[in-house]
Amino acid sequence: MDKNLIVGGNSLVRLENGNLVNYINFDNAATTPPFQSVLNEIVDFSNIYSSVHRGTGYKSIISSMIYDEGREIVLNFVGGNKEYHTVVFLKNTTECINKLSYRLQDTLKDKVVLSTYMEHHSNLLPWKYRFTTDYIEVDSMGRLCLEDLEFKLKLYKGKVGLVAVTGASNVTGYINPIYDIARICHSYGAKILVDGAQLIPHNHFDMKPIDSPEHIDYIAFSAHKMYAPFGTGVLIAPKNTFEKGFSEHIGGGTIKFVSIKDTIWADPPEKEEAGTPNLMGVVALSTSIKTLQNLNIQNIEEYERNLTKYALDLLKNIPQLILYDDMNVEEKVSIISFNMEGLNHDELATMLAREGGIAVRNGCFCAQPYVQRLLKISDEDMKKYMNDESLLRPGLVRISFGLYNDYNEVYLLAYLLNEISKDIEFYKNKYRNSPFY
């Protein structure tokens, strides 16, 4: 794939030794740089940018039309049904899941919500603090246990209302069998929400027809992880999810009529989008989707899978390196997490940045229960971390590829990791008194 597809693909950064090198961004699971096409469209559209659903001027009419067309572009991209589904534009996946958890409070009253031990906090905490929740286990390699899912569905005897599951882990990249999960959930009368933040930019996704046992009831994802980092998240849900009640955020744009005594709420999705909409974010997302479609998402999937296989083949032979991966690249997106014996994850991440200009992510990636299981940290040890903030926090180093990363960058990463592994103490001493950043 061509680096010129994205903005900043040929940036230079200065190393610890003063040399300038090409910046290698392996932190795409956190956020991606914008497509050049997205930035170009933002600049071009700025000339006609205006208020949405608020004015009668030419620019306002065009802006409103483009904003509303964005919903159709999103639905077509994921196989949604415009007669049945609605698209709500919010800030990010986190806000989308929080909104859904708020709006389902009546629907799921006296019900159980199942989350999993591999979830991002954004698909765990909103359910934990609003509903009776339980959690689906993972196996010793970190894969989701479908047997435990079915066990818990049987255990609660029809009381499970929703299963909230990630499409792909932001720690290991493991892709969950969401259609199998949907089929199992529906057979027990439960619905499924897929956190698509890590899945949508990398793999073909289809919500499936609404009468299919494999239908995905709810999907949420973020534009900033798919080359459109301009502050837009997407929640797709049945329209009837929002027909009763009103949003947790209310104000301008959410009503048909207001008096001091009465309010008539707007129809969904407008009543879920209080305030001035993020038109530029929707323009960016729509352009990103068109670019991904032009590149062909299946081609992206194949390229990133091959890049991931190449990386794993190199990394598995590096002394002292611990991979948290089952090596099954056919069922994962382009994310790999690891540690190196003798180094804290902070130290290793800093060495990669300062010695090679390689940007990675380290820590628990907002998925602490999952990382705790991968690292086999006991509940007793977790209490020690909770009670003593001076202890170095456990974590991993994560690399995550975008469609613009290449084999040479992966080779340079493996080379540097191999060099560090040969003389860990030398590199530790070099950065012992250097603040992490």
**Full 3-state SS string of the chain:** CCHHHECCCCCEEECCCCCEEECEECECCCCCCCEHHHHHHHHHHHHHCCCCCCCCCHHHHHHHHHHHHHHHHHHHHHCCCCCCEEEEEECCHHHHHHHHHHHCCCCCCCCEEEEECCCCHHHCHHHHCCCEEEEECECCCCCECHHHHHHHHHHCCCCEEEEEEECECCCCCEECCHHHHHHHHHHCCCEEEEECCCCCCCCCCCCCCCCCCCCCCEEEEEHHHCCCCCCCEEEEEEHHHHCCCCCCCCCCCCEEEECCCCEEECCCCHHHCCCCCCHHHHHHHHHHHHHHHHHCHHHHHHHHHHHHHHHHHHHCCCCCEEECCCCCHHHECCEEEEEECCCCHHHHHHHHHHHHCEECEEECCCCHHHHHHHCCCCHHHHHHHHHCCCCCCCCEEEEECCCCCCHHHHHHHHHHHHHHHHCHHHHHHHCCCCCCC
Stretch 407-428: mean pLDDT: 96
* Band of residue 435 on the pLDDT scale cut at 50, 70, 90: low
What token pair was written down for 115? 């989350």
Stretch 406-417: mean pLDDT: 98
Measured at the alpha carbon of residue 149, what is the angle toward residues 143 and 153, in degrees to the nearest 5?
175
Stretch 393-410: mean pLDDT: 96
Stretch 15-38: mean pLDDT: 95
Which residues have C-beta within 8 Å of that of residue 358, sequence separation ≥ 6?
A: 24, 26, 352, 409, 412, 413, 416
More confident call, 390 vs 377: 377
- Which phi and psi angles does 75 have, rounded to 5°? -60, -45
Which range is least confidently modeled, 60-69, 107-116, 117-126, 386-395?
A: 386-395
Given CA atoms 167, 169, 170, 174 in this order, what sign does their dihedral have? negative
Percent of the chain with pLDDT over 90: 90
Q: Are strands 12-14 and 20-22 parallel, antiparallel or unpaired?
A: antiparallel
pLDDT of residue 54 exceeding 90, the answer is no
Single-letter amino acid code for the residue at 289:
I
pLDDT of residue 436 exceeding 50, the answer is no
Out of 3.40.50.300, 3.90.1150.10, 3.40.50.450, 3.30.930.10, which CATH number does the structure's domain 3-30+297-432 have? Answer: 3.90.1150.10
The residue ranges of every structural domain in the chain are 3-30+297-432, 38-294
Q: Are the beta carbons of 310 and 282 closer than 8 angstroms?
A: no
Task: Report the C-alpha gap between 158 and 187 in whole angstroms.
Answer: 10
Which range is least confidently modeled, 29-43, 305-319, 382-396?
A: 382-396
Stretch 27-37: mean pLDDT: 97
pLDDT of residue 232 exceeding 90, the answer is yes
pLDDT of residue 5 exceeding 90, the answer is yes
Task: Report the C-alpha gap between 268 and 88 in whole angstroms.
Answer: 8
Mean pLDDT of the chain: 95
pLDDT value, residue 434: 64
pLDDT value, residue 384: 78
What token pair was written down for 396? 């991993």
Residues forming beta bridges with residue 20, ordered by sequence position: 14
* Band of residue 437 on the pLDDT scale cut at 50, 70, 90: very low
Q: Are the beta carbons of 278 and 89 closer than 8 angstroms?
A: yes
Measured distance between the N- and C-terminal CA atoms of the chain, rounded to whole angstroms: 30
Beta carbons within 10 angstroms of residue 429's beta carbon? 10
Task: Report the C-alpha gap between 431 and 437 in whole angstroms.
Answer: 12
- Which phi and psi angles does 125 have, rounded to 5°? -65, -40
pLDDT value, residue 433: 67
Q: Is the pTM of this model over 0.85?
A: yes
In CATH, the number for domain 38-294 is 3.40.640.10
Which residues have C-beta within 8 Å of that of residue 377, sequence separation ≥ 6?
A: 394
What token pair was written down for 153? 């569905």
pLDDT value, residue 36: 97
